[in-house]
Amino acid sequence: MDMTTLLVLVGIVAVVAVLAVMFSRKSHDLASASPERLATHAKEKADAYARDHEKATGEKLDFGRATLKAIDTVLERNYAKNTLSDPTIEEMGFYLGEVIRRTFGGDWRYNEGFKELCIAHPQEGFIFPVSQIRRALEQKSTDHVQSYFDSIAERVKS
């Protein structure tokens, strides 16, 4: 192995190590955060998505069920080649989570097992909206987010 290749490999390992530390620190910060801080974090991310979405499309999101069609549309546009950044996917998930939380109740919590923020709901247990957005991109199903919301609505009203 020549010196240039070795230096490139060392550089890549260093970058991966820094990213791992940053990710674990973020997870640790959320894991030890108060419920109020988690709620603020989720709301800030959801609001950021609503602002970015309006800026990009001119479409205002009001945290109601009807606005979930807009998220499904964005996801459908990205099925062939996902151009959404991880922070955007996360913000979309928090937007979905805020629509769910505002409609059905529940509180943002950090789930240690999944290392993810979720909504703790008295009837549903844990709801993972960020994972749901990732799943929608993977499964490429139409109206995935609206259907997910509607399935929760059916179970909660029963």
Alpha helix (H) residue ranges in 59-108: 68-77, 86-104
> CB-based contacts of 25: which residues, under 8 Å, 6+ apart?
none
Q: Which two tokens stand for residue 40?
A: 């603020």
Q: What is the pLDDT of residue 38?
A: 94
Q: What is the pLDDT of residue 47?
A: 98
Q: Given CA atoms 86, 91, 95, 100 in this order, what sign does their dihedral have? A: positive
Q: What is the pLDDT of residue 3?
A: 66
| Statement: the pTM of the whole predicted model exceeds 0.75 | yes
CA nearest 90: which of 50, 56, 45?
45
Please state, in angstroms and rounded to a whole number, the distance separating the CA atoms of residues 105 and 107.
Answer: 7
E strand or H helix at 13: helix 3-31
Q: What is the pLDDT of residue 139?
A: 87
Instruction: Report CA-CA distances (Å) from 41 to 56, 91, 98, 115, 157.
Output: 23, 10, 11, 15, 28
Q: Given CA atoms 57, 129, 75, 22 in this order, what sign does their dihedral have? A: positive
In sequence order, the β-bridge partners of residue 88 are none
Q: What does each of the 158 residues of the chain score in pLDDT, given as a tens digit?
A: 676 765 555 556 555 554 444 444 444 578 889 989 999 999 999 999 999 999 999 999 999 999 999 999 999 988 888 789 999 999 999 999 999 999 999 999 999 999 999 999 999 999 999 999 999 998 887 889 999 999 999 999 86
Q: What is the pLDDT of residue 27?
A: 47
